[in-house]
Amino acid sequence: MSDFLDRFGRGQSMCHRWPPFAKLFAAIAMILAATCVPITHGPLVGIVACVIFFAHTLARIPLAYVGRRLLFFWPTLFLMAISLPLSQAGQKGWLLFVTILVRGTLSFSTALWLVNVMPFDQLLATLRRLRVPDVLLAILSLMYRFLFVLWDELDRMRTARSARLFRKPSLWETWRSAAHLVGRLLIRALDRADRIHGAMLARGWDGRSRWIDQSREDRP
Amino acid sequence: MHIQDGVLSPVVCAATGAISLGAVSYSVHRLKQSVGDRTIPLTGMMAALVFAGQMVNFPIGAPVSGHLLGGVLAATVVGPWAGCVAMTLVLFVQWALFSDGGLFALGANVLHMAVIGAWGGHAVRMFVQRFFGDCRKGIVIGSVVAAWATVMAAAALFCLEFRLSWPPSEIDFSKVFTLMVSFHSLIGLGEALITGVAISFVLNQRPELIWRMGTLARPDEETGRSAHPPIATITRTLVAGLVIALAIAAFLSPFASSFDDGLEAVLGKLGIENFNLTGSVPGLLEDYDKVPVPVAAWQSIAVSFAGIGGTLAVFALAWLLGKALPAAPPQLSEAAGE
């Protein structure tokens, strides 16, 4: 799962070698452009789209991968956008529909680019230099660490559930078992948090987070 | 549920971003005051849990399925401040990893799901809980009502933001809002059901996990370090009132187009009638203002159904879940106060 999300984050292209700040601000600028350019100015939108496409090629992110991610993304965006003209009985709102589709697609591809040129730890380090509070970053890094652990846990619980189901459950049963799944996951997660806390205490945790200074480490 | 970039205008994004930044900063501030050494791993795990919990699908119809949002669940287990921070981080990671929800719309998403979800959810739950002597039942009923109210409040807020984002010549807002309200009353029902069943499940299996929220609020016995002071009742009542008012406003929002002139007048007075920075072309679609007749009738039916049916369903649900709990509560009722 994690591999699917930022598969090319560790690549070695030109974009990957940019300083982290440049990558972050380039992405923000691109999203700003994508959301602010009036949709009726076709050429401008085209230029923004070309820049984003060019950035993807520079970062050597395969088109097939981008396409697959977009395929997962479009249905939800489409549903949201189509509800506008549908609610007007198809007579109004088509301009809004197109606007939302185009802007959503462009900003999604930009975010996808950022994920794939900037590994999460680099993003954390950049945020830290931007003076995001340490508490937030400590929680964020812990969350990122255990996100995938919990996903695997959830996967195992789902497997166990389907192994014990011999017939198609009714809608209510599905709901109840899904809610129990969440509750059980909650219990396990909190127990795990306790164990992690114990392990952290054993390693001298005193409630303050310390960070390795990456720039100093890189120096010879 | 997540708002993508491009749905709201940049000005609205900036405004919601500023509000969310303030609210989250305050949450972090309160969290820092309470930082025992347990807070960070607990909050991080809670954020990861909400994230994973959103992966559990709840089938609605054949192709459609819903999922948990988790604001009220997080606030019930770790408290409003940590809950708000956890939800914010979930939304941030969803943007950073999944590109789910936009970067500039992050402020609006945080406002809807983290601030309203955790702060508002906590306030509403505490408000409802006071009416039940039996705290265990109160927690479940309170969280069910809170889950429903927060989703509806978020819907109302979205309607307002959407209305401020686009010029009225573009689209007939009352119909969009009817759709939004009908849709969200379904989402809210799902959220209420999942939150309620999950919390009563945990209360049955490991009640101390939910009560522990009290230990986050009370001073630590070992270190004696003071945890954050309890929230004043009046603040809580105010926030709860605000969320409930917003939830009620959701049902009025489909009729908001009749208030358009009023809204415009207010905006004009404030000198911000040119709030639209979206660069759209007014007048292109202006001719199409004749709509088929049944829509108007359907609208009022849909809204009444969403309002009355949804509210009844939530209260029936809360009552059923409350009944399903074992009768004897543990002697911990004091801890649930804060």
A117-121, A146-150, B266-270: the lowest-pLDDT one: B266-270
Instruction: Identify the burial level of B152 via C-beta atoms within 10 angstroms of its C-beta, where 0-12 means exposed, 13-18 middle and 19 or more buried.
Output: buried
Of B32, B46, B201, which has the smallest distance from its Cβ to A183's Cβ?
B201
Longest dimension (CA), chain A: 67
pLDDT exceeds cutoff 50 at A212: yes
- A33 Cα distance to chain centroid: 20
Question: A48: closest CA among A30, A74, A63?
Answer: A30
Phi/psi at B107 (5° precision)? -60, -45
Task: Using alpha carbons, select from A66, A133, A136 the residue that is nearest to residue B44.
Answer: A136
Q: How many CB atoms lie within 10 A of CB A190?
A: 21
User: Cβ contact (<8 Å) for B99 and A95?
Assistant: no
> Has residue B116 been placed in a domain?
yes
**Enclosing domain of residue B214:** 10-270+292-324
Contact B295 A89 (CB under 8 A): yes
**Chain B environment of A35 (Cβ under 8 Å):** 5-6, 10, 102, 104
pLDDT score of A104: 82
Question: How confident is residue B69, by pLDDT bands cut at 50, 70 and 90?
Answer: confident
Q: Which residue has the higher pLDDT, B244 or B283?
A: B244
CA distance A13 to chain B (A): 20
B25 within a domain of the structure (yes/no): yes
Between A60 and A7, residue with greater pLDDT: A60
The share of chain A scoring above pLDDT 70, in percent, equals: 83
Q: Work out the minimum CA distance from A220 to partner chain B, whole angstroms.
A: 32
Residue B259 lies in a domain: yes
**Residue B305 resides in a domain:** yes
Nearest CB partner across the interface for B96, out of A80, A100, A123: A123
Strongest mean pLDDT among A84-88, A155-159, B97-101: A155-159
pLDDT for B328? 46
Nearest CA in chain B to A141: B44
Domain assignment present for residue B252? The answer is yes
Between A and B, how many CB-CB pairs are < 8 A? Answer: 262
Residue B272 pLDDT level (bands cut at 50, 70, 90): very low
- Asked if B103 and A111 come within 8 Å (Cβ–Cβ), the reply is yes
Residue A163 has pLDDT above 50, yes or no: yes
Which strand (E) or helix (H) includes residue B67? strand B65-67
**DSSP characters over A142-156:** HHHHHHHHHHHHHHH
B108, B12 contact by CB (below 8 A): yes
Report residue A147 as tokens.
């996100």
B239: CATH: 1.10.1760.20
Let me know: does B315 contact B148? Beta carbons within 8 Å.
no
Q: What is the pLDDT of residue B196?
A: 87
Query: So what's the pLDDT on residue A1?
Result: 47
**How much of chain B exceeds pLDDT 90, in percent?**
0
The answer to whether B172 contacts A144, with C-beta atoms less than 8 Å apart, is no
> Phi/psi of residue B57, each to 5°?
-90, 140
Lowest-pLDDT range, A176-185, B133-142, B174-183, B277-286?
B277-286
* Total domains in the fold of chain B: 1
Residue B100 has φ and ψ, to the nearest 5°, of -95, 115
C-alpha B37/C-alpha A201 separation (Å) is 8
Those residues whose C-beta lies under 8 Å from the C-beta of residue B162, and which sit 6 or more positions away, are B7, B8, B173, B176
ipTM: 0.84
Q: DSSP assignment, residue A13?
A: S
**B287 part of a folded domain:** no
User: Mean of the per-residue pLDDT values for chain B?
Assistant: 70
- What tokens does B92 get? 């941030």
Please write the tens of the pLDDT for every residue from A66-84.
Answer: 888 888 778 777 777 777 7
Partner residue facing A31 (CB), from B53, B104, B277? B104
| Ranges A70-84, A107-121, B118-132, B290-304: which has the least confidence | B290-304
| Intra-chain end-to-end CA distance of chain A, in Å | 36
- Please give the pLDDT value at position B170: 63
**What tokens does B261 get?**
């002139």
CA distances, B74 to each of A70, B58, B142, B195, B315 (Å): 31, 19, 14, 10, 22
Which of B43, B99, B172 is facing A88, going by the closest CB pair? B172
Q: One-letter amino acid identity for B196? A: G
Q: Which structure tokens are listed for B81?
A: 């401040």
Which amino acid, B103? L
pLDDT at position B224 is 43
Within 8 A by CB and 6+ apart from A21, the residues are A126, A129
Is B3 part of a structural domain of the chain? no
Pairing mode of beta strands B65-67, B57-59: antiparallel
Q: Which residue in chain B has the smallest CA separation from A32?
A: B104
Residue where the block lists tokens 């109840």:
A176
Cβ–Cβ contact A98 with B under 8 A: no
Q: Which of B153, B40, B49 is nearest to B93 (CA)?
A: B49
Q: Determine contact, residues A189/A145, Cβ cutoff 8 Å.
A: no
pLDDT per residue over B186-214, tens digit each? 778 888 888 888 888 888 887 777 755 54
Closest Cα partner for B338 from B167, B214, B181?
B214
Q: How far is A117 from chain B (nearest CA, A)?
A: 12
Chosen from A76, A87, A114, A126 to mutate, greatest number of chain B CBs within 10 A: A87
Chain A nearest C-alpha distance from B46 (Å): 7
Cα–Cα distance for residue pair A182/A178, rounded to 1 Å: 6
- Contact of A82 with chain B, judged by CB distance below 8 Å, is answered with no
Q: Write phi, then psi, for B286 (nearest 5 degrees).
A: -70, -25
Q: How high is the pLDDT of residue B297? A: 55
Per-residue pLDDT of B210-236, as tens digits, reads 755 544 444 444 444 434 445 556 666
Do B176 and A35 lie within an 8 Å CB cutoff?
A: no
Concatenated DSSP letters for B286-334? TT-----THHHHHHHHHHHIIIIIHHHHHHHHHHHHHHHS-S---S-GG
What does the block give as tokens for A111? 């975010």
State the pLDDT confidence band at B290, using cuts at 50, 70 and 90: very low
Test B56 with A181 for CB contact under 8 angstroms.
Answer: yes
How confident is the model over B111-139, as pLDDT tens digits?
Answer: 888 888 888 888 888 888 777 765 677 78
Contact state of A186 with B40 under an 8 Å Cβ cutoff: no
Q: Pick the residue with more confidence: A156 or A169?
A: A156
- C-alpha torsion angle, residues A160, A165, A166, A167 (rounded to 10): -150
Look at residue B335 and tell me if it is in a domain.
no
Amino acid at B60: I
